[in-house]
Structure 1
């Protein structure tokens, strides 16, 4: 019961917390009666009635019929209804902008994609985002008043208290405010966060978070990052810079400097671009390798996928590069496990498309560094949403604000 736990707090604060918890209980139940809410929450019947009536008024809850009687009048049953309002999610990537509209249950209604005009700079990219939003709304012929907000997943260091993107190596942005710039073009509430934390939020709202309260989402894509969920909530750190997992130093003797400006970081050696760059540096002295043949001799077209495909074909150089990268992944994930003691680690990003070879090597290398005195078998799982993991997270960024009553209806 939240009311008794927060006696020293403002009444409106306690009321909001109770409302959040009642809505959560209704969402997690297929259907539930007010009497059951009273029993489960430890709140008074009048308090539950007031909260439920408010949620019905907000069109978040509907009555679905009547339950079985235990001796008196049959109870009216309630369920969550997320079909009346909508949110927009945007996966803001350096190559493309993907956007979708969903209802509050996370069901995609329609989506759109356009190439990112990265070379034209920050203001042009923001204009593109506004154009994508406009196209989505027009395609669905949606009343803008039914859209509760826009959520964006953005690569970079984002200051929690003011939304300032201090640095994004992918976009080469420094000290820019996405909300301020986008507000010049759109009137909707705008929310954004680091791409991997957003992906973790998607898992929390719609994926593994239904069963686990302590887990880590790791992006294994062009770059590397981690979104950390502790006790059912995202962990930000003191400034919002937590989860910069890719910048962990895993080989201080390696001379290669990655895009983050660090020598020997996990990202520089084991990300999508890191694997590709390693292959480009080594392929010229391995004439027997098939890697260059795969890209018809065009060195600049070598990707991590090229390396993985050649490794599957038993190319010795590709196997060497892939195994080295997986060794680094083993060191990095072992550090996360020992630091945070998660129930599950969820992996998303392009590298998981390598198939079971990726997950097999990952598990093998984690076990190499396992702390044998402590029995701690952490599940390593692919994202619940595949290629839609980031977009689902961007939608969830707004949905979570709605469910926490942090944005207006």
Structure 2
């Protein structure tokens, strides 16, 4: 609770305004009485706060529905459409982008394929096309874009530079934040993709309400994101969760058990190979089941190490391979039960391939809140 000693009424009004904004965000239009009930303020106080928020530009009165009889109660809403956010997922083979309002409600999504060995400028151009496509679909001008949050493969420093990327060599030592600012005139945030995926699972997915989570980012490449005490854990040097860098964990090459399985037809594109193996295992093919077993053996080794260190409430199997959770989840649980002192819940992601882009949106919303809606600062007048 903020310190209100000395009868600081302006401070009290500020805190009341923040309480009202929290009540309105994510809710439909609310009447003055409903707002007063949710905030614990008196109706006269709530009316005064609503007026101040309208003057600041964050709240507007909603006109009555057509055909409404009598004198309808005034209703108010948070102006989530006064600006827009974009989340981007930079993967090895695909660039995904999503457009949202200031509440994080996703309004449009696009995807751009890109080859793993694409030159740097080609990969950056794919990002620009994906973001521009979202703006076009959402009928949003680039001048209305407040923030872009990018989740990318690789190890990221605090300045938004990709300092290492095993999967995409051209991505190493890249000032990604700087290149993004050259393309788009707005604030840019850069974070590791697995961390954003973990965040999305605690906000929108199967780990909602959990404070300690290990997220297994399982697909054509492997990664992990950690949630500790309800917050994304980056570590001292932003290298937390990089189990794939430990050769003994066997994560880096683990997907090759599925990609190189004998059941995969010759000529199958690399992005589809693992899917053939997983589908064959689902149908009981012994060769495919053996390949899946080897893959899970490698996956469980690194996962068990993180479980033993962190003792999480939930382990989430996410990423592209989570669509085959019916094949992977049972063997993974068995392996963890043999290795771990206390068995956490093991759940399959419901977000699938969308986990990173959804997490990027949530990351942008959090930063917006920190800048505009904190007891130390706001709510500030509606400006960029």
Q: Of residues 142, 159, 164 in structure 2, which corresponds to 1:162?
A: 159
Are 2:315 and 1:345 equivalent residues in the alignment? yes
Tell whether 2:176 aligns with 1:178: yes
Q: Structure 1, residues 98-121: CA drift from partner, whole Å, max 9, x if none?
A: 222122333322222222265452
- Give, in whole Å, the separation in 2 of the partners of 1:229 and 1:202: 11
Report the alpha carbon displacement of residue 383 of structure 1 after superposing the two structures with TM. Answer: 1.9
Would the alpha carbon gap of residues 207 and 56 (structure 1) be closer, same or farther in structure 2, given more than 3 Å must change? farther
Q: TM-score, normalised by structure 1?
A: 0.73
Which one is further off, 294-303 or 177-186? Answer: 294-303
8 A Cα contact 1:86 1:146, kept in partner: yes
Structure 1: runs of 5+ lacking an equivalent: 8-12, 40-44, 66-74, 249-261, 284-290
Decide whether the 8 Å contact of 1:3 with 1:18 is kept in 2.
no
C-alpha change, 1:210 and 1:157, in structure 2 (3 Å) is same
1:331 paired to 2:312: no
The Cα shift of 1:386 comes to 2.6
| Helix, strand or coil at the partner of 2:251 | helix
Structure 1 CA distance for aligned equivalents of residues 51 and 122 of structure 2: 45
1:325-348 deviation per Cα after TM superposition (whole angstroms, max 9, x unaligned)? 222333322222221122222221
SS of 2:299's partner is helix
Can you list the C-alpha shifts for 1:195-228, whole angstroms capped at 9, x where unaligned?
A: 1111122233333564222223221111111221
Match 1:268 to one of 237, 252, 261: 252
Partner deviation per Cα, 1:260-303 (whole Å, 9 max, x = no partner): xx3x4332343x345324x3xxx5xxxxxxx1xx4047797882
| Correspondence for 2:68 | none
Which residue of the partner structure matches residue 135 of structure 1? 133
* Structure 2: stretches of 5+ with no match in the other structure: 6-10, 64-72, 374-382
1:318 and 2:288 are equivalent in the alignment: yes
Map of 1:148 onto structure 2:
146
TM-score (norm 2): 0.77
Aligned length in residues: 355
- Sort the Cα spacing of 1:340 and 1:50 in 2 relative to 1 into closer, same or farther, 3 A: farther
Question: Cα distance, 1:89 vs. partner?
Answer: 1.5
1:3 aligns with 2:3: yes
1:243 CA displacement: 1.4
| 2-structure distance, mates of 1:60, 1:378 | 42
Q: Secondary structure at the match of 2:140?
A: coil
Over the aligned positions, Cα root-mean-square deviation in angstroms equals 3.7
